[in-house]
Amino acid sequence: MKYIKLYFLLFLSLNFNSFSEPIRVACVGDSITYGAGIKDRKNMNYPNQLGKLLGNKYEVKNFGNSGSTMLKKGDKPYWSQKEFKAALQYNPNIVIIKLGTNDTKPQNWKHGIYYSEDYKSMISSFTKLSSKPKVYICLPVPVIKTRWGITNEIVIKEIIPAIRKISAQTRCEIIDLNTPFHGKSKLIPDYVHPNSAGATIIANTVRNSIKKP
């Protein structure tokens, strides 16, 4: 009788695990999340690589939209894009937010005083979901050289300090995507967008944060 009970419990355990839903991961961001400029973008964008690293227990979806800003008053607010609505509807268990690079453009950063307010509002939009996701916020990848109005000076002096304060205020964990690219400018050939090898660095960094001991 004892062994029958043990086999029954084992059966229930195996049966439950086989039908349990995967952990849903939403990658929210701009063209770097989307994978702009990457050869074989469909397979080599960082969210897709992240999904392979995390394995079958996770489902990772790419909600990147090129050119998007965190700022609601920016020239292309992520708030207005279909990807934002889709990310919310996905009801994720984990959210990775990587927005701020396009906010450094002059026409956007003139509204920079609202950056932190808008960022915290987006965090709240996700944490209010029924899935109660864990939200990670990312320090931007370095801008090697000013291009399209995107500048590293604002990334370093304004965006990164703001995200660190937001982390302290919201208790959202930071994923540092800036430091891993120091001395690796060749992985950002157009000065803004990492190539496939750079996307691999992002995927590994995010994976290590999600699955850290």
Tens of pLDDT along the chain (213 residues)?
A: 554 444 444 444 444 444 589 999 999 999 999 999 999 999 999 999 999 999 999 999 999 999 999 999 999 999 999 999 999 999 999 999 999 999 999 999 999 999 999 999 999 999 999 999 999 999 999 999 999 999 999 999 999 999 999 999 999 999 999 999 999 999 999 999 999 999 999 999 999 999 876
How many domains does the chain divide into? 1
In a domain, 91, yes or no: yes
In a domain, 8, yes or no: no
In a domain, 7, yes or no: no
201 secondary structure, DSSP code = H
In a domain, 194, yes or no: yes
Rounded-to-integer distance, Cα 50 and Cα 62, Å: 10
In a domain, 9, yes or no: no
Rounded-to-integer distance, Cα 158 and Cα 168, Å: 16
Q: Do residues 167 and 209 touch, judged by C-beta distance below 8 A?
A: no
In a domain, 151, yes or no: yes
Residue 199, number of CB atoms within 10 A of its CB:
25
In a domain, 15, yes or no: no
CATH of the domain at 123: 3.40.50.1110
| Chain mean position to CA 17 | 27
Domain that holds residue 111: 23-210
Rounded-to-integer distance, Cα 61 and Cα 59, Å: 7
